[in-house]
Amino acid sequence: MILLSLAWHSLKNRRLTTGLTVVSIALSVALLVGVDLVRVGARDSFANTISQTDLIVGARGGSLTLLLYSVFHMGSATNNVSYQSYLHFKNHAAVEWTIPYSLGDSHRGFRVVGTTNDFYEHFHYHRDRKIEFAEGRMPDGIFDTVLGWDVAQALHYKIGDPIVVTHGISEGRGILQHDDKPFHVVGILARTATPVDRSVYVTLYGISAMHIDWADGGPPMPGEETPVSKITKDNLEIKQITAFLVRCKSRIDTLGLQREINTFEDEPLMAIIPGVALSELWNTIGYAEEALTVVTFFVLVVGLLGMLVSLYTSLNERRREMAILRAVGAGPRKVIFLLVLESGLLALAGTFLGVTGIYAVSALTQPLVEHRFGMFIPVTPPSTTGYVYICAVVVAGLLIGTVPAVKAYRNALADGLSIRV
C-alpha cells in the first residue's frame, strides 16, 4: 500500500513526463482499439450490404462475379437469365419474394438498374433496414426513374429532371445514348450507405423500352425510332433480366432450391448464398485490414518504448531517492516492485484513457461517420480481440517496467547508502 502511494507521489512529482507518457500510451491504445472497432464496423457493414436475401441467381459463371455485379454493381454479367426462367422461380412454391435486376446501362458513370417495385418493398440491408424514399415515390410509368442518394447529390438532380441513359457501362457520356427515350426523376432514395446509393433505378419496362428498336446489339437507324408516345406496357416485351434475388419461405428450403436452380435443365443458371459469397470476398480483400493492424501494433510498441525511455532516464536523478528508500529499510525487491508498479500505473492509466477516449470519440462521431463514409461503427464493448489488446498493453507495460527496475536494483546494490548526486 505504501509502495502504491510512493509510486503515485513519485509519478505526480514528474507530472510532465508522466502526462506525456500516459498520453502517448493512450493514443496508441486508442488507435489499436479504434482500428478494431472500425474493422468490426467495416466487416459488419460489408456483410450487411444485402440482408434477408437467401439466394442470388444469375447465369452460370463465377460466383464472385455474380456477387459483384448483382450486389455491388461492379463488372458485368457474361450472360443473362431469360424472363421465363425468372417467372418459373418467382412462382415457385418455396419462394416468398424475388427482386429482378436488369443491368447493362449507365448514366454518367452510375449504373442503371432495371427492377420492379418488389425492390422497394422487399430489399433489406443492415439486417432489417428497408429502402426509404427521401423524396418522391415509386416509379410507375415506363420512363419513370428513381435515383440513389449519391447519384442525386453528385449530379444535383431533383424530382422532375429528365435524364438520358447511356448504353453500356461508361464514365460520363457514352458513345451510344438512349437520347430518344429520356427518363424523368420521380423519386430519390434515402441514404443507405450501400451500393444502392450509387445506382439509378428504372422499371424492367423502361429497360425494354430503351432497347425496343435495337436489333443484334445495334441501335436503330436515325429517324426509325419508335416515338415515346407510341410505347405502352402492352407492346413491350420483357425478354430477359440479368439476375434476381430470392427470399425463401423457410430457410430450410434454401439449400434445396439452390440445388434445383443449379441443376435447372431449361437454362444454365447458378444460385449463390450471399452471406457465404460475401465472407469469401471479404477474405480476399481482408489484407488491408491486417496491414492496418500491423501498423497499429508498431505504434503501440513506440508508445511503450516511450514509457521505457522516460522511466529509464528518470532513474539517474532518482538514485538519491533509491538510497534513501534503502536506508529506511526498503530491500532491493521493494525498489523493483516500486518501479514495476509505476510503469503498471502508467500503462493502466494510458489504457484507460485511450479506451474511454476512443469510445467517446466514436460515440460522438458515429452519425458523422455513417453519413460521410457509409460505415456504421458499433459502439459496443470491445470484441474479444479488443480485450486481449487491452490486457496485452497492461502486461507489456509491467514487463517493460522490469527493465528500469532491474537497472534501479543494480544501482541500489552498487550505491548502497552512499548518495551519488
Partner 1 sequence: MEIAAGQSVFIFGPSGSGKTTLLGLLAGVLKASSGQVMALGRDLSKMSNSQRDHFRGSHVGYIFQMFNLIPYLTVEENIALPCRLDSERRHRLNGVPLHDAVRETASHLGIEALLHENVTNLSVGQQQRVAAARSLIGTPQLVIADEPTSSLDFDRRERFIKLLFENCRAARSTLIFVSHDRTLMPLFERCVSLPELNRAAQSL
Selected binder of partner 1 within 306, 332, 374, 401 (CB under 8 A): 332
2 touches partner 1 (CB under 8 A): yes
Instruction: Say which residue the cell 450490404 belongs to.
Output: 49
Q: How many residues bind partner 1 (CB under 8 A)?
A: 25
Q: What is the dihedral of CA 189, 193, 195, 197, to 10 degrees?
A: 30
134 touches partner 1 (CB under 8 A): no
* Residue (2 or 285) nearer to partner 1, CB: 2
34 touches partner 1 (CB under 8 A): no
The residues pairing with 135 across neighbouring beta strands, listed in sequence order, are 188
- 410's CB contacts (< 8 A; 6+ apart) are none
* Residue (221 or 421) nearer to partner 1, CB: 421
- In whole angstroms, the minimum distance from the beta carbon of 23 to partner 1 comes to 21
419 touches partner 1 (CB under 8 A): yes
326 touches partner 1 (CB under 8 A): yes
- In whole angstroms, the minimum distance from the beta carbon of 332 to partner 1 comes to 7
Selected binder of partner 1 within 307, 330, 336, 349 (CB under 8 A): 330
Tally of CB atoms within 10 A around 225: 16
334 touches partner 1 (CB under 8 A): yes
Selected binder of partner 1 within 276, 288, 302, 324 (CB under 8 A): 324
Task: Give the H or E element holding residue 302.
Answer: helix 287-317
168 touches partner 1 (CB under 8 A): no
Interacting residues with partner 1 between 261 and 320 (CB under 8 A) = 320
* Residue (137 or 420) nearer to partner 1, CB: 420
418 touches partner 1 (CB under 8 A): yes
Segment contacting partner 1 by CB under 8 A, of 39-47, 255-263, 323-331, 340-348: 323-331
Selected binder of partner 1 within 234, 329, 368, 381 (CB under 8 A): 329
Interacting residues with partner 1 between 4 and 23 (CB under 8 A) = 6, 9-10, 12-13
In the complex, the residues that contact partner 1 under the rule CB under 8 A are 2, 6, 9-10, 12-13, 320-321, 323-334, 416-419, 421
